[in-house]
Amino acid sequence: MIEGRLPRGIGVERAALRRAAAHFAAKAEARARVPFREVAVVLQDDAFSAVTHAAINGADGPTDVTTQRYDAMPGEVDGVYGELYVNAERALAAAPRRRGWSAAKELLLYVAHGMDHLSGADDHTPRGYAAMRRRELAWLRAAAALFMV
């Protein structure tokens, strides 16, 4: 599920974003060996990002993606449930600083990063960060080939 507004100039349509998110969820599911049941992608701007970042992580200021994972509710099938709060405004601002990189790719990188976190990946150490980045860039390359973003 994709919620929120895609800003003009982001360069990816909602349907392609949904397909790419499903692709990243499948990759993360295979990594975690736990079924991904329901993950909402909530698009936001810097102001909304600062609020969710503080509420979920206790950190100040906006960020690229904030991930929230939930346990299954009674009666639900076990698996991964969660939300990715993805900062589309940050993707628009960050993309021009990367050579040959579009805002669409930056946005999809944030979605891949969030799915990777939902799979249990951690980037609190240099080694963990490097492993996540390698994996996410591989997922992004596959998504670009599949969805032409």
Query: What's the confidence (pLDDT) of residue 116?
Result: 95
pLDDT at residue 145 in the model = 67
Highest-confidence segment of 5-14, 18-27, 69-78: 18-27
Residue 148's pLDDT band, with cuts at 50, 70 and 90, is: low
Nearest to 27 by CA among 118, 129, 145: 118
Q: Map out the domains of the chain as residue ranges.
A: 2-147
| Interatomic CA distance for residues 73 and 108, integer angstroms | 29
Q: In which band, very low, low, confident or very high, does the pLDDT at 128 lie, cut at 50, 70 and 90?
A: very high
CATH class assigned to 2-147: alpha beta
Does the pLDDT value for residue 147 go beyond 80? no
**Tokens, residue 146:** 């599949």
Q: For the residues 15-35, what does the mean pLDDT come to? A: 91
- Summarised one tens digit per residue, pLDDT across range 86-100 is 999 999 988 888 888
Provide the edge-to-edge strand list for the sheet that holds 36-44: 2-3, 36-44, 80-87, 65-70
Q: Give me the mean pLDDT over the 129-139 stretch.
A: 93
CA 18 to chain centre: 11
- State the first-to-last Cα distance of the chain, in angstroms, to the nearest integer: 19
